[in-house]
Structure 1
Amino acid sequence: MSGGCTYRGRIAPTPTGYLHVGHAATFRRAAERCEAAGGTMVFRLEDLDPLRCKPEYCDAALEDLRWLGLTWTEGPDVGGPCGPYRQSERRPHFLAAWRALRDGGWIYPCARSRKEVATSALAPHEEEPVFPPGWRVPVAQAREWADPAGTNWRFRVPDGEAVEFVDGHFGQTRRVAGVDFGDFLIWNRDNVPAYELAVVVDDIAMGITEVVRGADLLTSTARQLLLCRALGAPAPGFYHCPLVVDELGRRLAKRTGALALRTLREQGATPQSLWDRLKNGMF
C-alpha cells in the first residue's frame, strides 16, 4: 500500500454481464480494507466496450452492490472531484496517455490479430500467449501517427526484466517481462483503449492508493507497473484476493453460468446469506 497518502480505494466492475458472487467477495474485501484505513471509496464503471457493456448491466452493478450494503463516497451516481466515473466518458484522458507513450517511445502500431498471436510459436504458455519479439515494429514508426485509430497498439516490454512487487495477500510476487508476459495491447484496432491502459490512467487520475482485485490479475499488475513507470507516475499498492470457486473447485465466471447477484436476489437470497456462504471462499 502506498505510504504517506490518505487511503483511496476503488470498486471498479466491468459491466459486460450481471455481477456474480465472486465479484461480491472481492468488492467486499476492498470495502473492508478501505474502512479499516479510514479511507475514501471510489466507484468506477469500467464500461469501455460499447458492444458488451450494456446499460442494463451498468444499472444492475450499482443496484446489486448497493443491495449488498456496499457504499462509496465518489461514483457515477453520487459525483465527486475526480469524475466522470464512467470510463466511456473519459476518452480524453486515455488519448493523452496514448500520446505520452507514443512520444516516449514506449508503444508501436501492431497489425497482428489476437488469433495470430494465439497460434504463434510462443503461444503455449501457462497464462496467455507471449507476443513474438520478431513481430515487433520499430517504436519510431509510432511518431508518424496522430491518433491511435485503425490498428492495435502494443507496449514494448523490457525483455528479461523482473517486475517485482509485494502483494497485500500473496506477499513478494515476481513476473519476468518477455517470459511470463510479452508486449501487450494498450489500444485496440476498433479505437477503444485496452483494459491495461484505461485502469492505469484512471487509477492515477483518481489518486487510488490501493487496488483490491482477484488473483487472476497478478500478471496484469506487472504490466500496469511498467505502464506507471512509463507515464512517470507512482504505482498504487495491490491486494489480490483468492478466487471464489464452486463445490468442484472451478472458478466462477459471469459468462459460464455462475450465480449472478441479480438472479440470487430474485430467488430471495439476502446479503447475509451470501456472506455466510462465502466465508470459506466457496459458493
Structure 2
Amino acid sequence: MPPLIPSPAGAGRFAPSPSGELHVGNLRTALLAWLFARSTGRRFILRVEDLDRARAGAEEIQLRDLAAVGLDWDGEVIRQSDRTPVYLEAIAQLRAEGRVYECFCTRAEISDAPRAPHSPPGAYPGTCRNLSEAERERRRRERPPALRLRADVQEYTVHDVLHGPYTGVVDDLVLLRNDGVPPYNLAVVVDDAAQSIDQVVRGDDLLSSTPRQAYLASLLGLPPVEYVHVPLVLSESGKRLAKRDGAVTLGALAELGISAPETAELILTSLGLPGTLPEALKAFDPARLPLEPWIFTPPTAPSAS
C-alpha cells in the first residue's frame, strides 16, 4: 500500500445526502474520512449533497450527530442545491467542445436496450448518440431531453489507496436530467475541485462509479484526487446496513442507553483503533485497517425484570 502524502493545501470531506438520519455505517465512513484527512495535514470539509434526496430537518440531525461522535470540520457547510449555476457552467464548457448530446430515452428503454457484451447493468448503450437533427426535433415534442456526455473512451483506470489500480466502464453518463437537475456524478466532480478536495474517502460500493467521475474530471481540466474506498458496514444478513435493521442510528442507540461517545468507541474499536478520536488519530495507520466489511449486530432493549 503506498504511503499517503501530506497535503496541507488540500482537503478531505464527508458528503452525506440529507435523506434521513445517519446510521452506524455512515458514521464509520465519516470517522474514517476525518482520520485520513487529519492524519495527512488536510482540512476536513462537510458538504450536503441535497440535489435529489432531501428530507426536512435531516441536515440538522446529521450535523448534530457528526458533532456528537466528536467530528469537527473546517469552514461553512456547502449545499449542492445552492450551486446549480456552477454545474451548468461545466456543462456549457463540455457543450462548447462538442461533448454533449440530447438523450430522450426513458429508464425502461435503457434497461431493455441491447448493449455490448460485458457491459454492466444500467450502462447507457448510446441509443441517442447519433440521432439526426430531424429526429431530435421530433423527439423534443414528445418529452424534454436529458443531456449526456459524449465519451471517447470505454473504460478508465484510477488508483485507490486500499484497492490499488481499478479499471471500470465509462459510458455516456447523464450531465443534466430532463427535469433540469444536475446528477450526482457531475456535481461531485465539480464540487470536489471547487473546494480543493484532493482526497475522497467513501464507501467501497462507490468504487465502480469512480472511473466515470475521474474521466469527467479530466475532460473538465480538473486536478486528480486521491481515492480511498473503505469497507461498508453490513447487517447480520450480509446486506448493506439500513435503518430497518434495528438500532443503528444514534437516536435509536441512545434509547437503549448507548451514548454517542460510546457508539464512536464501538466504531473505532471495529477499526482496531483506540476508543477516542484523539487517541485514534495518533494510532491511525491505513496499512492496518481491516479490509473486510464490518458485520454490525444491533443491540436490543434490555428485557424488563
> Is this a same-fold pair by TM over 0.5?
yes
Residue matched to 1:25: 28
1:68-100 deviation line (CA, Å, top 9, x unaligned) = 111101233xxxxxxxx1111111211111111
What stretches of structure 1 of length at least 5 have no aligned partner? Answer: 77-84
Name the CA shift for 1:131/1:37 in 2 (closer, same or farther; >3 Å). Answer: same
Contact between 2:149 and 2:175, CA under 8 Å: does it hold in 1?
yes
* RMSD (Å) for aligned C-alpha atoms: 2.8
For residues 218 and 132 of structure 2, the distance between their equivalents in structure 1, rounded to whole angstroms, comes to 17
Residue 43 of structure 1 is matched in structure 2 by 46
* TM-superposed deviation, 1:247: 1.8
Deviation at 1:269, TM superposition (A): 2.2
Deviation larger for 263-272 or 210-219: 263-272
Question: How many percent identity over aligned positions?
Answer: 37
Change (3 A) 1:259 1:92: same
Task: Tell me the residue number matched to 1:205.
Answer: 194
Give aligned pairs, total.
262
Number of the residue aligned with 1:193: 182
Deviation at 1:56, TM superposition (A): 0.9
Match of residue 249, structure 2, among 250, 260, 271: 260
Any conservation in 1 of the 2:6–2:42 contact (CA below 8 Å)? no
What are the within-5 Å matches in structure 2 for residues 1-283 of structure 1?
6-49=9-52, 52-76=53-77, 85-122=78-115, 128-137=121-130, 150-160=144-154, 162-177=155-170, 182-253=171-242, 259-278=248-267, 279=270, 281-283=294-296
Contact (CA 8 Å) 1:105, 1:140: kept in 2 or not?
no
In 2, the alpha carbon distance for the partners of 1:253 and 1:61 equals 15
Tell me which of the two structures has the higher relative contact order, counting C-alpha pairs closer than 8 angstroms and 6 or more residues apart.
1
The answer to whether the 8 A contact 1:123-1:130 is kept is no
**How far off its partner does 1:127 sit?**
5.3
Structure 1 counterpart of 2:206, which letter? L
What SS is found at the alignment partner of 2:233?
Answer: coil
CA displacement at 1:272 relative to structure 2: 4.0
Q: Give the structure with higher Rg (CA).
A: 2
Answer whether contact 2:103 2:145 (CA < 8 A) is retained.
yes
Distance 1:126 1:248, change over 3 A: farther
CA distance in 1, matches of 2:132, 2:244: 37
Aligned residue in 2 for 1:79: none
Is residue 168–residue 209 contact of structure 2 (8 Å, CA) maintained in 1? Answer: no
TM superposition score normalised by structure 1: 0.83
State the match for 2:279 in structure 1.
none
Deviations 1:104-131 (A, max 9, x none): 1222111111222122223997853121
Partners of 2:14 and 2:266 in 1: CA distance: 22
